[in-house]
Structure 1
Amino acid sequence: MKILVIGASGRVGKILTKKLLENNHQVIGTTRQDESLFSNQNYTQISLDLLGEIEEIQEKIPNHIDAIYFVSGSRAKNLLALDLHGAIKTMKIAENKNIKQYIMLSAVFSLETNKWKEEGFDELKDYYIAKHYADEWLIRNTNLNYTILQPSALTETTGTGKIEVDIQHPGENAIEDVATTLLEVLNNKATFKKVISMHSGTTPIKEAINNIGQ
């Protein structure tokens, strides 16, 4: 498949891109870095300014893309302009280009505002507001085959390859496990139009994803 990874140089994006290439996908990564992230014949790289006009962004994105991953993040520097407005621009472009699947890396319980105070997310409230409305837009204002993955707190620990989904309380996720889960939802119709919350657990990732909706 021909896949656009928006945010390929990020903590999740870099591991995800590596996994996609290992699975022989053709990957276009976006980053503001000049140096290529990967030396691989199936990898190309473009500089994409999500703060720019939608027409400028769309012009840079190649045609005939099969799926978009949005794994970019402002790290709290441009929450509204990037995590919200920038994300929505890419959703509109995905529709304009008839892209089959749009996969959003979000945050646990981004759509369940009643849990924010209960679970102690007050210090991340602005971030959660941006993610909430980006996810809402994707669900309510597009016809895309979206998959929204909502991991718990990301850790630099070694992945276990095991998770739990549709969770009731937050936990932690190894970044590698989040990247593996993102790979697993690719072109998986069982995950179309689904919001998947997750943390580390005891169920193999492939099994957890294949059981979505059952």
Structure 2
Amino acid sequence: MGRLVVRQLQARGDVPVAGLRPDEDSEDWEDLGVKVCRLDLLEKPERLASGMLGNDALIFAAGSGGRTKDDMTLLIDLDGAVKTMQAAEIAGVHRFLMISMLFAEDRSRWADPLKPLYVAKFYADHWLTHQTSLDYTIAEPGALSFHAPTGGFKSDPLAVGSISRADLAAFLVAALHDDRTIGRTIPLLSGDLSLAQLFDQL
């Protein structure tokens, strides 16, 4: 996900910095001309903040992944996300975009085996909206696919569906540059609207 976002930021003329795990190979990123910094989400917020200094915005695309146990879901998707928010405030990074998940706000829609991830997203999103002063946007995508981008979107809090990772990346980059998305939690699925039309409806 992060690689798609970085490439679209570059295409727009932005200068992204990729936050990598301490053990993650940086060669591919450097080949793309992308500056990297090491961010260990198990560290304290003050340590994370040192890698964020001088940046204008942060897109939180990290996740524990489907192969880890529930303890890492809590440590990365919940506590790691909250520590990243705290670090952003320490570093003076005011714009924060969060990738959540569809129905994260509605416990009645939480289904196994993803309940632990829903819990993490619910409380991380709550912290972002209620315990920070960050200019946030929360994207709540449906099921993420590897399909080619369609460039079509819809935002329906009751609908079920999917969206390609490339389209989610396009949304995040566009939202970063559109202040109408600040303070918004936006369900996101594939649909018939352009991003401009979607933002006009906010």
Shared fold, TM over 0.5: yes
Q: Which residue of 2 aligns with 1:153?
A: 143
- CA displacement 1:12-56 (0-9 Å, x = unmatched): 211110000111111110123232425345x20012110112222
SS in 2 for 1:37: helix
Deviation of the 1:188 alpha carbon: 1.5
SS in 2 for 1:195: strand
1:14 is aligned with what amino acid? R
Residue 97 (str. 1) matches residue 88 (str. 2): no
Q: Is the 8 A contact 1:184 1:209 kept in 2?
A: no
d(CA) in 2 for partners of 1:93, 1:110: 23
- Indicate the larger mover: 151-160 or 182-191: 182-191
d(CA) in 1 for partners of 2:179, 2:190: 23
1:163 is aligned with what amino acid? F
Q: Which residue of 1 aligns with 2:36?
A: 45
Q: Which of 6, 22, 26 does residue 15 from structure 2 map onto? A: 26
Aligned length: 195
Residue 211 (str. 1) matches residue 197 (str. 2): no
d(CA) in 1 for partners of 2:189, 2:140: 9
d(CA) in 1 for partners of 2:94, 2:39: 21
Deviation of the 1:174 alpha carbon: 0.9
Q: Which residue of 2 aligns with 1:6?
A: none
SS in 1 for 2:189: strand
Q: Which residue of 2 aligns with 1:3?
A: none
Q: Is the 8 A contact 1:68 1:103 kept in 2?
A: yes
Residue 70 (str. 1) matches residue 60 (str. 2): yes
SS in 2 for 1:15: helix
Percent sequence identity over aligned pairs = 31
Residue 180 (str. 1) matches residue 170 (str. 2): yes
- CA displacement 1:73-124 (0-9 Å, x = unmatched): 10142111010001101101111222231000110011121332xxxx2221
Deviation of the 1:170 alpha carbon: 1.9
Name stretches of at least 5 consecutive residues in structure 1 with no aligned partner.
Answer: 1-11
Q: Which residue of 2 aligns with 1:138?
A: 128
Q: Is the 8 A contact 2:17 2:36 kept in 1?
A: yes
- Indicate the larger mover: 73-82 or 32-41: 32-41
Q: Is the 8 A contact 2:50 2:91 kept in 1?
A: no
**Poorly superposed stretches of 4+, deviation over 6 Å:** none
d(CA) in 2 for partners of 1:143, 1:100: 8
Residue 55 (str. 1) matches residue 46 (str. 2): yes
d(CA) in 1 for partners of 2:158, 2:96: 25
Q: Which of 173, 194, 205 does residue 184 from structure 2 map onto? A: 194
